[in-house]
A and B are shown apart, each in its own frame.
Chain A
């Protein structure tokens, strides 16, 4: 097992019961993270102060909900620390797409390893696609994505709908973080790179396998969000949309590739309910200004007051939950966020 996952054997040999101690879980998470990181960067991180800080924080034996925060890498959730430690989950059945199927690289309940899923750093959102696209939201098969919510053969008119979308979800850290924060809300990540999407699928499957009853509300699709958002969501369906650390596309001629623009905001406004919230964050100042100014100019969005933002438990995750966020934090980078509410058009 240790061989196939390539994890340091000391870590992989730990019995899963160890994870019952939060302290240990945190330690395991760190070890697992180290295993995740490309070799050349490992040293760099361990010599930085952040790791020590995280360790000292974790000594306070935080409650499980705080554990994520305590970990340097909350995207590697406490549940995943267990996974890395070798907690064998029940065997999964596979098939179809969505988080219910996908690659076969790992044994059941094993966390997928990122290096199998490396891809080009960015995909070109302009190039033509070769992945399946649902003709309309009616054709999105939610039972593939959320089998526990859609038991086979039960057509339910009052079936839940996807409410959150993480656009350009990358390795899926935000979904994992949100899943337990909103255990009854269906959410989906949208990602253009197929290897990355496969990774997220495997990650979710592994989490489900080793944490029965949890992580059933998150899934991922490979798609070009700039083209196919209306194929996935109906009018006013979403209550939250996330755009965390999107590709910056610095050159002026490439600004039209940016995932936030006046024109794309029209589509986001369409799929969002009035009162819904759009979260954006970036470490690129220029892009941060761009996203904010688009949102400010757009008549269907309004800025959310600072106090309200502070009280929103989701906001904390923006800079801590995803792989990009952590990288920026590790490097001590600044972040720029813009959080706006979907409003109805003001009549004059």
Chain B
């Protein structure tokens, strides 16, 4: 049933479901939510919604934003999406200083730790590089067009991050792969040396995040369609530990609700000190917490922080300064959705660090709407509405869309046997017509049988 729906949508060229995203400023000065083409920013210092401005001379987002990211020092912010635009914002003024046009839809974006380069991935799995500063060692290309630096051959890159020391760029894809590539000081001369592949996921990888003990070595965390969170020694491509979240979730929610593919990990977010990982899981109303011991290199289940029934977060983020875990639920590109309905729901988990969360059950686990910093002002700005009634309606449809979302975006197309035969036949028909030209590569048959 589901499959039929998916294929129809593909045939009719229907846009793909796009989950709402949240990103907290690393120093806690603002928080951004993206849903559809809308970017909503709240200034936590001033306590007011930010109105974005644009000095870049480029157009504004007109289709779903697929990725947002702050630079490590919080000075820059980038947004990229289905409209093939990559926009760079200065976070002091929230003015867009650069609009880059991609040839293809963008699926991931990251800013190098020193803020000198921006990378984005397109839907063909190619990563492009743009120089941010006017002159970095005088190597600014004259036209400053994006330069392709690496590629995951025809796979969608789902997540892209720089390592804490800035030496590596990590890219994850839907073909179960995570690639760690050395990011040289002068990346325009080429980014060719692969440090490792982290292979172990048995389904698409949906999210990656670096984590480390203060001043210690860093590690990579990943989550995916196989309902696991994994811990990696990414320098050597060694899998250190795997945490199956499926069993835990199935204990918590009635099994009737959990179809086969509905327990994909959709996002992960480590605490500052590396001791915890928050996990968002499809079909789980709440956030799962894992204890992450970077000394013994173990991941273990800690607890589930349950939220109201229809609240299944699509994105997680925390800042380095405040111990808040921001979660958001929402989606765009859903059937029959008007753009005026781009609601999201936002929830915050306070005390996002190990001790209070692990040791006591008395600590509030999720902030009530009235307890949220800046209260209604913030909620109105980031959610788009305070009307809970309307919200519920929207959340219900998001919930439905979530059930098929990962299929659409990530899971490989599993054609039914019959359809595959049909496709094959279609191809053969073509072949008969143009006997000696290959239908897939225009090479003459005689040369290659």
Contacts and interface: CB of A to CB of B under 8 A. Distances in A.
B386 interface: no
A249 B442 CA distance: 6
Interface of A: 38, 118, 120-126, 128, 130, 135-137, 226-228, 230-231, 235, 245, 247-251, 254, 256-257, 262-267, 269-270, 283, 298-300, 324, 327, 345
B413 interface: yes
5 contacts: A122-B438, A135-B199, A248-B443, A250-B443, A264-B151
B150 interface: yes
B320 interface: no
B190 A267 contact: no
A250 B442 contact: yes
A263 B150 contact: yes
A120 B197 CA distance: 33
B202 interface: yes
B193 A300 contact: yes
B295 interface: no
A249 B124 contact: no
A121 B420 CA distance: 19
Given A122-B443, A128-B412, A251-B442, A299 B190 contact: yes
B445 A121 contact: yes
Given A135-B202, A256-B124, A283-B447, A269 B192 contact: yes
Q: Which 5 A-B pairs have the closest CB atoms?
A: A136-B199, A263-B151, A124-B440, A270-B194, A230-B197
A121 B200 contact: no
Contacts, number: 100
B446 to A, nearest CB: 8
Interface of B: 124, 126, 148, 150-151, 153-155, 175-177, 179, 181, 189-190, 192-194, 196-197, 199-202, 237, 412-413, 420, 427, 431, 438-443, 445, 447-449
A230 B177 contact: yes
Nearest to B155: A227
A230 B199 contact: yes
Contact of A263 (B153, B200, B420, B438): B153
A247 B192 contact: no
A235 B193 contact: no
Nearest to A230: B197
A106 to B, nearest CB: 20
Contact of B448 (A137, A247, A250): A247
Contacts of B448: 121-122, 245, 247, 324
Contacts of A249: 441-443
Given A121-B448, A227-B153, A299 B440 contact: no
Nearest to A124: B440
A262 B175 CA distance: 20
A269 B449 CA distance: 30
Nearest to B437: A121
A120 B200 contact: no
A118 B449 contact: yes
Nearest to B154: A126
- If over half of A's interface residues share one DSSP class (helix, strand or loop), that class is named, otherwise mixed; here it is loop
- Taking each of A38, A130, A267, which has the highest tally of chain B beta carbons within 10 Å of its own beta carbon? A267
A123 to B, nearest CB: 7
Contact of A135 (B189, B200, B447): B200
Contact of A122 (B151, B179, B440): B440
B422 to A, nearest CB: 14
A214 B190 CA distance: 44
Contacts of A123: 440
Contacts of A122: 438, 440-441, 443, 448
Given A230-B199, A249-B443, A256-B124, 15 more contacts: A118-B449, A122-B441, A122-B443, A123-B440, A135-B201, A136-B197, A231-B199, A245-B448, A247-B441, A248-B443, A249-B442, A265-B192, A266-B193, A267-B194, A345-B192
Contacts of B176: 135
B188 to A, nearest CB: 13
Contacts of B196: 235
A38 B442 CA distance: 22
A190 to B, nearest CB: 14
Contacts of A120: 427, 431, 438-440
A121 B446 CA distance: 9
A266 B441 contact: no
A264 B153 contact: yes
Contacts of B442: 249-251, 254
B449 A121 contact: yes
A266 B440 contact: no
Contacts of A230: 177, 179, 197, 199
B151 A121 contact: no
- Taking each of B153, B194, B412, which has the highest tally of chain A beta carbons within 10 Å of its own beta carbon? B153
Contact of B441 (A128, A226, A248): A248
Given A245-B448, A263-B151, A257 B441 contact: yes
- Taking each of B177, B199, B440, B443, which has the highest tally of chain A beta carbons within 10 Å of its own beta carbon? B440
Nearest to A231: B199
A245 to B, nearest CB: 7
Contacts of A135: 176, 199-202
B433 to A, nearest CB: 14
A81 B202 CA distance: 44
B217 to A, nearest CB: 19
Contacts of A231: 199
A109 to B, nearest CB: 26
Contacts of B420: 130
Contacts of B194: 235, 266-267, 269-270
Contacts of B150: 263, 266
- Taking each of A118, A120, A283, A345, which has the highest tally of chain B beta carbons within 10 Å of its own beta carbon? A120
Contact of B154 (A121, A226, A251, A345): A226
Contact of B175 (A121, A125, A227): A227
B443 A121 contact: yes
B153 A299 contact: no
Contacts of B440: 120, 122-124
- Taking each of B181, B197, B431, which has the highest tally of chain A beta carbons within 10 Å of its own beta carbon? B197
A298 B191 CA distance: 10
A4 B181 CA distance: 53
Nearest to B412: A128
Nearest to A171: B449
Contacts of A136: 197, 199-200
- Taking each of B181, B443, B445, which has the highest tally of chain A beta carbons within 10 Å of its own beta carbon? B443
Contacts of B124: 256
A121 to B, nearest CB: 5
A326 B388 CA distance: 73
A324 B439 CA distance: 20
Contacts of B193: 266, 269, 300, 345
Contacts of A298: 192
A262 B155 CA distance: 17
A128 B192 CA distance: 26
A298 B181 CA distance: 15
A120 B429 CA distance: 12
- Taking each of A226, A247, A254, which has the highest tally of chain B beta carbons within 10 Å of its own beta carbon? A247
A257 B179 CA distance: 20
Contacts of A137: 199
